[in-house]
Amino acid sequence: MNKNVTFLIAALALSACNSGPAQPPLSEAPLAGAAIGAPFTLTDQDGRKRSYDEFKGKYRLVYFGYTNCPDICTPDMQHLMAGLTMFEKAHPVLANKVQPMFITVDPGRDTPAVLKQFVSAFHPRLIGLTGTDGEISATAKAFAIHYERVEGSSPESYLMGHSQVPYLMGPDGKPLALLPADTPNTDANEGDPKLVAAELSKWVR
């Protein structure tokens, strides 16, 4: 057999072995084409202005919640960031293309200092974002997030009802899929980070 042909066959075989499972095109993502997301500028946990567009070319993991959320936001963030960490260990180069963001729906209490303490508990690259009531309202509306204040026993003890929607946005800032933050695993009634990592593996490239 011709040496060049032999070399080509070997190279193709090696490529096939290293390629892993085939990924569907981004055009087939569950949320492809949905009118979700828009540019925004908010304030991060260090008091700096951050814009959505500064992360063009990266996949954005976007979650809306608040730090005083008693039952949903903390476990969701634990599972999402644990899944991202698993993805980082398996695919460090690809994982570096994913920027996680936590956007508060409670800007009155979630100051940059409060957000800094909150996000630091989950992942070193997680950005916490806050802003004025108007900025948060406009951003939430652009991402199809509903939230409302639920009064408590005192003015300080209110809760925030809000949509529980972890978005994976593409490099163009448009939606791709929802991440399974609260999908139960087989061993306990809690979210399964492996499913988050698998969904990231499916769409991030």
DSSP states along 86-130: HHHHH-HHHHTTEEEEEEES-TTT--HHHHHHHHTTT-TTPEEEE
- pLDDT at residue number 70: 81
17 labelled binding-site residue: no
162 labelled binding-site residue: yes
Domain housing 110? 26-203
- pLDDT at residue number 155: 81
State pLDDT tens for residues 84-103: 999 999 999 999 999 999 99
Residue at 21 is within a domain: no
69 labelled binding-site residue: yes
| 19 backbone dihedrals φ, ψ, rounded to 5° | -75, -25
The pTM score is 0.86
Q: What is the CATH number of the domain that holds 39?
A: 3.40.30.10
Residue at 14 is within a domain: no
Residue 15 clears pLDDT 70, i.e. is over it: no
Residue at 4 is within a domain: no
State pLDDT tens for residues 24-39: 999 999 999 999 999 9
